[in-house]
Chain A
Amino acid sequence: MKKLIAVILSLALVMALGTTALAQDTLTVAFSQIGQESDWRTANTDDVCKAIQDAGWNLVYDDAQQKQENQVKALRNFITQGVDYIVFTAIVTTGWDEVLQEVKDSEIPLVLIDRFPQTSFADDSWFTAFFGGDFVEEGARAARWIVNYYKSLGRGDEEVNIVRLEGTTTSDPQVGRSKGFDDVIVNYPNFKIVASQTGNFTSAEGQAVMESFLKSVDKIDVLWAENDQMALGAIEAIKAAGLQPGKDIIIVGCDGVKLAFEAIVNGEMNCTVECTPLMGSRVVEVITGLEAGETFPKIVHPVEYVYDANGGIAYTDDGTALTRKAADYIAERLY
């Protein structure tokens, strides 16, 4: 009996040594994704997972299926497994203090992407890097594009009625994009938001809300949709009202998905503000850098553009960056 136990123990020891040796060979990077809610999210997952694998590292991927408790569980599993890095995007903004404290205590570097969770930590030492869209800037870009587009037509002083389709109420992108848009448009009193309603980031609701706007608002000049899906839904509603989308009503969306590019090329939409899901290369860059002992600015936003039918409209605060022509970039758009 004693012999048996000894054999088992020594076997276990050998196996444990074996795994440690293996783990030292390559890095293990864990990625906790929130679930597959949209095409954008699918592109995000694919890109990050592929980049980690292409870098030759072990990937531990967890799909939380839209549930916070699954993400908490996944993070705890990552700690138990002793992974080298954790890549994390938070499904909701709050409720992470406890588990993120555990991550901090385990001293595994935490790389945040896409969404930034709100925590009550005293300093920012709990995360190593954040890479994700600047939602406030995206909203501001949409507003600047509208104003500059009207100026380019020589109609900058006209009364312009804007209707807005908001994202899911209180979600991070909705709050940011609404704020950014409001902050810019308030400086131009002739550009007015005459109606604003949530379309929950979906085509179907965007369509139903636009249908009502077309009846309740006397004159709509511009539609600003906080994602492309709602803009695409609204296009159908505008057609059903006997109007020409993109001409009778100027349509601005957000995200820069391929469907929006197609709509712009077909003249049914006017502009889309990019919010890129391609974060894989940056994740790899950060981890490689950290391994080599480099330091980074903690928060970095991706380089993003604004696309429209003809290009050449300024969309940044300083007015230097000009929009790109959607037709030139549609072929390389994968999502």
Chain B
Amino acid sequence: MKWKFDSQHILKSKITWAVVAELLILLVCLIIRPEFFEISYQESTGMLYGSIIDILNRSSEITIIALGMTLVIALAGTDLSVGAVVALSGAIGLKLMRWDMSEYPTAGNYSVTPLIWVFLVALGICFLFGCFNGLMVSRFGLQPIIATLVLMVAGRGVAQIITNGRQMTTNFAPFKFISQGSVLFLPMPIIITAVIFILMVLLTRKTSFGMFVEAVGINPRASRVSGLRSSLIIFSAYAITGLLAGISGLIYASRIGQNDSNNAGINYEMDAILAVVIGGTSMSGGKFSLAGTVMGSIIIRTIITFVYYFGVAAEAIMAFKALIVLVVIVLQAEPVREFISKRRKARKTAIRGELHG
């Protein structure tokens, strides 16, 4: 009896389909070229080296943002400003490290400002941007899309003003460590993402915060009437997302050793929302799954890596991505999942009927 219940549960669960989709893409890779799965130890960098590691490594920026976005979407909101905050974070970081850019244009292994201040100021301002979004939505009751659109447009502009529209570069080793360094043979971004994931799981599952988020997402008015401070919860979700977008921005800047206010974080809001939706959290709010979001982000990166590795023509990339995303999302749609699990149930009953009858 118990097993039957579980199988139904697994078939209905959205994350199952995300995992199935990922495995299917990987299966195609395995059939075309098994070398895709090769992982070796790279002595010069002290890291594991392979396409699978690349997928995990390069999905970090989106995963980190999407973890915050999961809460926002579970509250029936959305945050369009994350891409601009990514650009802003990098711009502030580089500006603080390279205050002397006009005198010493050549990048060196140094920082004008101690690294701890670079992190604190950059992340602090991104956190404030998140707070601004939160305030607009929770206090002033603006539509999330409109409220966050303000910073989506303004954030990139602020980033360009901060850096005078220039790309600043650095070779400061401790700063580069957050993207190119390694701990436990893994690239740092994977470690940072894992730590943030664990913290977010603890926050939402070990405290009542997660339950409150779901309650407010399902019915804000009922939650407020029953004594939940829904505006504070909504505010926190946007603030956390701002902070996480800031972390993501520093990783991005560290990877290329420069701020790129024009291109950093372009379309990240879309990728992050997509990751959350693929992971099974509904745009209409309510129940959310952080593990699903991580899976969603990994799927997006797997598609991109697939395209690069197997040389899909540049013109076809967009269409290719859209096609796979479409399949994944349709598989997860309520009616489709209902249909699959019902058919399975019906077949089982039929078989059982034959046996017993």
Q: Which residues of A contact B (CB under 8 A)?
A: 36-39, 42, 166, 169-170, 195-198, 200, 202-204, 207-209, 211-213, 215-216, 232-233, 236, 240-242, 258-259, 262
Contacts and interface: CB of A to CB of B under 8 A. Distances in A.
Contact of A198 (B38, B255, B317): B317
Contact of A242 (B35, B43, B305): B43
Contacts of B44: 242
The interface size bin for chain B is 35 or more
A203 B50 contact: no
Contacts of B288: none
A278 B264 CA distance: 26
A307 B51 CA distance: 34
A204 B50 contact: no
B209 interface: no
A215 B256 contact: no
Contacts of A37: 262
Contacts of B45: 240, 242
B159 to A, nearest CB: 11
A47 to B, nearest CB: 14
A216 B315 contact: no
Given A209-B308, A259-B169, A262-B107, A236 B43 contact: no
Contact of A208 (B43, B58, B165, B180): B58
Q: Which 8 A-B pairs have the closest CB atoms?
A: A212-B308, A198-B314, A242-B44, A203-B256, A202-B263, A216-B309, A169-B314, A212-B309
A195 B308 CA distance: 9
Contacts of A203: 256, 258, 260, 263
Given A38-B262, A197-B307, A216-B311, 9 more contacts: A36-B160, A39-B167, A169-B315, A204-B263, A207-B255, A215-B50, A240-B47, A241-B49, A242-B45
B22 interface: no
Most buried by A among B47, B165, B169, B310: B165
A212 B305 contact: yes
A197 B308 contact: yes
Contacts of B305: 212
A82 to B, nearest CB: 30
Nearest to B58: A208
A236 B180 contact: yes
Contacts of A259: 167, 169
Given A236-B180, A241-B49, A215 B309 contact: yes
Contacts, number: 87
A207 B256 contact: yes
B152 to A, nearest CB: 14
A195 B180 contact: no
A36 B263 contact: no
A203 B260 CA distance: 8
B257 interface: yes
Contacts of B317: 198
Given A212-B51, A240-B180, A204 B252 contact: yes
A197 B315 CA distance: 9
Interface string B283-323: 00000000000000000000011011111001101000000
A271 to B, nearest CB: 20
Contacts of A204: 252, 255-256, 260, 263-264
B105 A258 contact: yes
A335 B166 CA distance: 9
Interface string B259-282: 010111000000000000000000
7 contacts: A38-B262, A39-B167, A169-B314, A198-B317, A208-B308, A215-B36, A240-B45
B51 A215 contact: yes
Contact of B256 (A38, A213, A236, A262): A236
Contacts of B43: 242
B262 to A, nearest CB: 5
A197 B307 CA distance: 9
Contacts of A216: 33, 308-311
Contacts of B54: 208, 211-212, 215
B8 interface: no
A262 B45 CA distance: 24
Nearest to A212: B308
A36 B156 CA distance: 11
B113 interface: no
Contacts of B260: 202-204
A216 B37 CA distance: 11
B35 to A, nearest CB: 8
B349 interface: no
A242 B45 CA distance: 7
A145 B106 CA distance: 27
A39 B33 CA distance: 40
Nearest to A258: B105
